[in-house]
C-alpha cells in the first residue's frame, strides 16, 4: 500500500466523531482498494404526502425531500413502497395523480372505479372529509393510531343500521385492506416504532449485512449489502465501518439494532447524533422481542449470502468453460459485449454491456451515440466508431497513469465481416491481450446453432445444450436489449421536439405560449408578424425572430 501511494493529504478535524464522518465520506467518494467499501449509492424509495394542495396526494418518491411535503420511509425496495402505496390508497382513498392531471380532470378516473381514490378532482368528496382521510393516513403511517380499525368498524355498523349499505360496503373494504396492511409484514414489532435492524453473517470470506427498515411499527422491507473487504477484517470492524458509510447520505433513525457489539459504539453514536442533530442509540439486545427481530435479520443475512455464494460458484464454473472454449489461461474476469441499434441509419446508437464473476455489471454499461457521417445501415462503420472511441479513451487514460480495467474478452454480434472490421480497429490502436470473439446465428439464424469467430482457429459451433453456449447467448441478448432500449430512448427524445425548438430565444415557456395561442406548430409557422407581436408574453424581438426563422427571405426593416 505504501509503495502505491502517490500523494498524502492531512485534514484536521475538531473531534474524533467528525473525523469518523469525514473518513466515511472519503471512502465512499474515492473508493480506495484497501478500505472496507460499501458498494451502494442508491437512494431509497419513500412515500410522499404533499402539503401545499387543498387535496394532498400520496405517491412514491426518491431524492431530496421537497418543501411543503411529508415523507415516510425509507422502504427496502421500490416494490415494498409500491405495495404500501396501493394499500394506503385502498384504506384511505387518497389521490396519487399529479396536480396537472387533477386540475384538468372532468370525470372520475379508473382509480375511483376500483375504489382506490375518493375522486376529489370531480367533487365526489368535500375538502373536510378528505382532510379527515389525510389525517388518518398520517397517524397510521406514523404509528400513532391503534384504534383505526375499531373506528372504521363502528362507522360501518352505523351505516348498516341506517340501511346505507353502499357506504357500509366501502368501509368494509377499507377495513379488509387495513387488516392486510397490518398483517402482510413478516414482522411488525410494536416495541420498535422507528429503527434500523442490522444482522450480519460471514461465510467463505464474504460478509452480508441485512438491514430491516422499521417505521411506525411496520417493517418497510429490507436490503442485503455485501461490503468489499480483505480476509483479515473482523465482523465487528466491517459492521462499524458499514454503519458510518451507510448513513453518510441516508437519514438515520432513533435506534439502530446490531447483531454484534462494537468497540467504537460510543464513537459511532456521537458521530451519528452529530450528523443527524438528534440523539441516536445503537444497541445489541440480548433477550425479548427485539432479540427475535434481530435474529430474523441474521437469518435473512445468512440465506442471502448463501444464495450469492451459490450464484457466484455457478458463474465461476461458466467462466471456466468460456476460458476453455476460447483458449484462455484463466477464467475471464471481465467480458465486454457490443451491439448497435438504428432505423435505416437514423437515431443510431452503440451499446456496451459488461459481464463477470458477479454477473452483469450494470454500472459499467455504456451508451454511444453515433456521431460520424455514416452511410445509413453501415453496421461496420458504426462498430468501428464505437470500438475506436472506447479503446482510444482507455489507452489515453493508461498513458496518463490512470488505472484501466481492460476486458479479457470483447464479444460482438456478427459474422466474419464484423470480426475482421473490429480486429483491424484493435490492431490499429495497438490493443493487445484482449480476446476478440464474434458470435453469428448463421444462415438459418437458429438460436442454439451459433457460429463463433476468433483468432488462430477456424469458425466453430458449440453443442446445442452446452451451458457455456447458453451463457454466451445471454450476454449477446443482454447487449441487444440494452442497445434497443438506448435507441428507443434516444428516438423518443427527438419525437417530442418541434420546429420551435430550433428558433433562438424560444424556451419551454414561450413555446407553450405560442402553441397555446395558435394551436399547432404549423399555425405558428403560417402566422403573420403582426399576429406574433400581438401575443401576450412574446416580445417584439422574439416575434421577429420567430417570423424570420420560418421566412428566410424576409428582411427586417
pLDDT tens per residue, range 431-448: 888 999 999 886 655 666
Distance CA 93, CA 48 (A): 15
Question: 336, 411 in Cβ contact below 8 A?
Answer: yes
CB 274 within 8 A of CB 20: no
Say which CATH class 16-35+189-304 falls into.
Answer: alpha beta
pLDDT in tens, 123-151: 888 999 899 888 888 877 776 655 676 77
Tens-digit pLDDT profile for residues 514-527:
888 887 778 888 88
The ranges assigned to domains in the chain are 16-35+189-304, 46-145, 334-494, 499-550
CA 29, CA 75: separation in Å to the nearest integer? 24
- For the ranges 54-58, 188-192, 483-487, which has the lowest average pLDDT? 188-192
Contact assessment for residue 73 and residue 47, using Cβ atoms and an 8 Å cutoff: yes
pTM: 0.62
Sheet harboring 58-61: ordered strands across?
A: 58-61, 46-50, 69-72
Q: What is the mean pLDDT of residues 317-341?
A: 91
284-to-133, 280, 291, 319, 397 alpha-carbon distances in Å? 38, 14, 8, 42, 47
Instruction: State the pLDDT at residue 184.
Output: 42
* Beta-carbon contacts of residue 243 (< 8 Å; ≥ 6 apart): 198, 256, 258, 268, 272, 282
What is the architecture, at CATH level 2, of domain 499-550?
Answer: Orthogonal Bundle (1.10)
**Contact yes or no for 387/370 (Cβ under 8 A):** no
Altogether, the residues listed in the chain come to a count of 557
pLDDT at res. 200: 93
Q: Is the separation of the CB atoms in 451 and 445 below 8 Å?
A: no
CA distance 212 to 197: 5
- Please name the CATH architecture into which domain 334-494 falls: 2-Layer Sandwich (3.30)
> 416 φ, ψ to 5°?
-65, -35
For the stretch 289-328, pLDDT in tens is 888 889 989 998 999 898 888 888 888 999 999 999 999 9
**Domain 16-35+189-304 matches domain 334-494 at the CATH topology level:** yes
Burial class (CB in 10 A: 0-12, 13-18, 19+), 72: buried
**What does the block give as the cell for 555?**
428582411
Amino acid at each position: 500500500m505504501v509503495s502505491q501511494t502517490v500523494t498524502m493529504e492531512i485534514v484536521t478535524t475538531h473531534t474524533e466523531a467528525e473525523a469518523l464522518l469525514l473518513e466515511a465520506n472519503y471512502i465512499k467518494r474515492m473508493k480506495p482498494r484497501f478500505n472496507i467499501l460499501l458498494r451502494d449509492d442508491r437512494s431509497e424509495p419513500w412515500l410522499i404526502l404533499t402539503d401545499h394542495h387543498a387535496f394532498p396526494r400520496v405517491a412514491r418518491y426518491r431524492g431530496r425531500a421537497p418543501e411543503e411535503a411529508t415523507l415516510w420511509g425509507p422502504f427496502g425496495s421500490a416494490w415494498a413502497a409500491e405495495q404500501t402505496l396501493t394499500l394506503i390508497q385502498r384504506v384511505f382513498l387518497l389521490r396519487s395523480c399529479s396536480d396537472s392531471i387533477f386540475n384538468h380532470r372532468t370525470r372520475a378516473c379508473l382509480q375511483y372505479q376500483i375504489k382506490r381514490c375518493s375522486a376529489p378532482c370531480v367533487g365526489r368528496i368535500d375538502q373536510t372529509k378528505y382532510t379527515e382521510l389525510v389525517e388518518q393516513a398520517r397517524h397510521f403511517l406514523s404509528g400513532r393510531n391503534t384504534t383505526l380499525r375499531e373506528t372504521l368498524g363502528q362507522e360501518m355498523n352505523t351505516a348498516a343500521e341506517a340501511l346505507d349499505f353502499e357506504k357500509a360496503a366501502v368501509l368494509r373494504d377499507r377495513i379488509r385492506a387495513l387488516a392486510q396492511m397490518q398483517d402482510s409484514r413478516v414482522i411488525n414489532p410494536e416495541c420498535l416504532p422507528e429503527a434500523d435492524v442490522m444482522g450480519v453473517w460471514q461465510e467463505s470470506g464474504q460478509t452480508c449485512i441485512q438491514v430491516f427498515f422499521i417505521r411506525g411499527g411496520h417493517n418497510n422491507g429490507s436490503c442485503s449489502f455485501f461490503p468489499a473487504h480483505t480476509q483479515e477484517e473482523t465482523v465487528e470492524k466491517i459492521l462499524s465501518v458499514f454503519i458510518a458509510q451507510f448513513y453518510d447520505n441516508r437519514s438515520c433513525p432513533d435506534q439502530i439494532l446490531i447483531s454484534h457489539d462494537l468497540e467504537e459504539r460510543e464513537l459511532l453514536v456521537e458521530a451519528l447524533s452529530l450528523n443527524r442533530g438528534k440523539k441516536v442509540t445503537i444497541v445489541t439486545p440480548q433477550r425479548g422481542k427485539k432479540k427475535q427481530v434481530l435474529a430474523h435479520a441474521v437469518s435473512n443475512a445468512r440465506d442471502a449470502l448463501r444464495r450469492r455464494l451459490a450464484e457466484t460458484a455457478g458463474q465461476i464454473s461458466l467462466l471456466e468453460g468460456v476460458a476453455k472454449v476460447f483458449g484462455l489461461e484463466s477464467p475471464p474476469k471481465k467480458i465486454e459485449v457490443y451491439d448497435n441499434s438504428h432505423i435505416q441509419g437514423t437515431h443510431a446508437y452503440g451499446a456496451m454491456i459488461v459481464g463477470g464473476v458477479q454477473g452483469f455489471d450494470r454500472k459499467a454499461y455504456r451508451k454511444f451515440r453515433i456521431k460520424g457521417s455514416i452511410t445509413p445501415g453501415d453496421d461496420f462503420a458504426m462498430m468501428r466508431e464505437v470500438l475506436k472511441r472506447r479503446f482510444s479513451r482507455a489507452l489515453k487514460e493508461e498513458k496518463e497513469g490512470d488505472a484501466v480495467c481492460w476486458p479479457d474478452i470483447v464479444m460482438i454480434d456478427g459474422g466474419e465481416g464484423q470480426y475482421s472490421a473490429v480486429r483491424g480497429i484493435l490492431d490499429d490502436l495497438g490493443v493487445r491481450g484482449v480476446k476478440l470473439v464474434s458470435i453469428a446465428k448463421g444462415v438459418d439464424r437458429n438460436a442454439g446453432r451459433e457460429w463463433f469467430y476468433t483468432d488462430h482457429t477456424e469458425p466453430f459451433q458449440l453443442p446445442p445444450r452446452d451451458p457455456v453456449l447458453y451463457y454466451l447467448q445471454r450476454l449477446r441478448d443482454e447487449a441487444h436489449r440494452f442497445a434497443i432500449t438506448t435507441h428507443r430512448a434516444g428516438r423518443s427524445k427527438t419525437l417530442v421536439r418541434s420546429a420551435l425548438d430550433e428558433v433562438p430565444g424560444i424556451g419551454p415557456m414561450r413555446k407553450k405560449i405560442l402553441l397555446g395561442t395558435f394551436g399547432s406548430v404549423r399555425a405558428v409557422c403560417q402566422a403573420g408578424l403582426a399576429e406574433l407581436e400581438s401575443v401576450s408574453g412574446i416580445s417584439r424581438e422574439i416575434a421577429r425572430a420567430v417570423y424570420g426563422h420560418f421566412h428566410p427571405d424576409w428582411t427586417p426593416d
